[in-house]
Amino acid sequence: MKIAILKERASGETRVAASPETAKKFAALGCSVAVEAGAGVIASITDAAYAEAGATIADAAATVKDADIVLGIQAPEVALLAGAKPGAWVAALFDPFAKREVVDAYAAAGYEALSMEFMPRITRAQSMDVLSSQSNLAGYKAVLAAADAYGRAFPMMMTAAGTVQAARAFIMGVGVAGLQAIATARRLGAQVSATDVRSATKEQIQSLGAKPIFVENVAGIEGEGSGGYATEMSPEYQKAQAELVSSHIAKQDIVITTALIPGRAAPRLITDEQIATMKPGSVIFDLAVAQGGNVEGSVPDEVVVKHGVKIIGYSNTPAQLPADASALFARNHYNFLSAFWDKEQGKPVLDEEIGTAIRLTRGGKVVNERLLG
């Protein structure tokens, strides 16, 4: 069984899909591992470190030649896979709703595309979940980036020259990224509040020492949909939420937005009118900027200043922490394949639940229900 790791080619991508640690573990399962030369350089992993872990270092063509499985961060272009075994598996982020043409190309080429972002949110798949591992880092980095752009300090400081007030930080969307954003802003000394549409998050916000800000007294306020994901909210709820946000946001120095709804554009949480009520010098970090943005006027990879407020958003926030993001992504890949390892066959055999959830293409066809519906 040959596993291939290519250098990522997408613009701004800094991560790599295997680490020396996972290369060694795959070798222990009996696999040969090939890594394209220079694949880990930006993530601070040298070719020598991979070689020491038992991997072969080669150019792109030799890396994929006769591969049974190709692991990626973002799905490689089909042309790069020429020479891989017919029906080879490719496990990576496919962004399947936005990049349907890539999925179709994989089907036409006969590869089996496994979409890591479709990993179901079930307990046994937690260790395989790249959205969680990467969102956690993104939530942390968003707060650091906001703190860096903020012209003031986060913690309260009592000095001989006078007192510096603690920054007020508001986290909108309390999933994996939001929880880490709360924890990070608290560690830096900010006064933190947070909101979500899922009422289960109230307790989580409190347990991290932050203040929950929630819409009450509106029918149908439970925003929890299938698989722990949020659903789109009713117009009544959206109106009540907008009013609540308006009154709260004017007093905030830092706002981090993380709200996503799978398969849809990110919900708009902050309007230009609301930004105008904030104090000059405040900072908003829009973690959903690549999915259409939670914040009116946010632009991927740019700092936009509106009404004296800086609005920031990276199109790929985990890529700002290449070493840790790669190490965790690589472990997700290993945990996934090793969990399904069939010793007798010397290869992974997926079960029905996870296989059906993440498999996009097979036998020359697009097979995933979420894409066919």
Shortest Å, Cβ 158 to ligand NAD: 35
Task: Give the whole-angstrom CA distance, residue 272 versus residue 60.
Answer: 47
Taking CB under 6 A as the criterion, which residues in 264-283 touch ligand NAD?
A: 267, 269
- Residues paired with 309 in a beta bridge: 306
Q: Could you give the string, one character per residue 191-230, with x where binding to ligand NAD holds by CB under 6 A and - elsewhere?
A: ----xxxx------------------------x----xxx
138 binds ligand NAD (CB under 6 A): no
Shortest Å, Cβ 343 to ligand NAD: 26
> Which pair of structure tokens corresponds to residue 191?
């006064």
Active site residues: 121, 126, 129, 132, 229
Task: Give the whole-angstrom CA distance, residue 13 versus residue 74.
Answer: 8
Give the count of beta carbons closer than 10 Å to the beta carbon of residue 360.
26
Q: Could you give the string, one character per residue 159-198, with x where binding to ligand NAD holds by CB under 6 A and - elsewhere?
A: -------------xxxxxxx----------------xxxx
233 binds ligand NAD (CB under 6 A): yes
Judged by beta carbon, residue 10 or residue 122, the one nearer ligand NAD is 122
DSSP codes of every residue in 123-173: GGGGGG-HHHHHHHHHHHHHHHHHHHH-SS-SS-EEETTEEEPPPEEEEE-
Q: Choose among 101, 103, 83, 85: nearest CA to 93.
A: 103
Taking CB under 6 A as the criterion, which residues in 328-367 touch ligand NAD?
A: none
Task: Give the whole-angstrom CA distance, residue 292 versus residue 263.
Answer: 12
93 binds ligand NAD (CB under 6 A): no
Judged by beta carbon, residue 221 or residue 366, the one nearer ligand NAD is 221
Judged by beta carbon, residue 63 or residue 132, the one nearer ligand NAD is 132
14 binds ligand NAD (CB under 6 A): no
Whether 112 and 361 have beta carbons less than 8 Å apart is answered as yes
Dihedral pair phi/psi, residue 275, rounded to 5°: -60, -35
Task: Give the whole-angstrom CA distance, residue 366 versus residue 358.
Answer: 12
In terms of residues, how long is the chain? Answer: 373
Judged by beta carbon, residue 109 or residue 143, the one nearer ligand NAD is 143
Shortest Å, Cβ 119 to ligand NAD: 7
Whether 108 and 119 have beta carbons less than 8 Å apart is answered as no
Judged by beta carbon, residue 36 or residue 129, the one nearer ligand NAD is 129
Give residues in contact with ligand NAD (CB under 6 A).
121-123, 125-126, 129, 131-132, 135, 172-178, 195-198, 223, 228-230, 233, 258-261, 267, 269
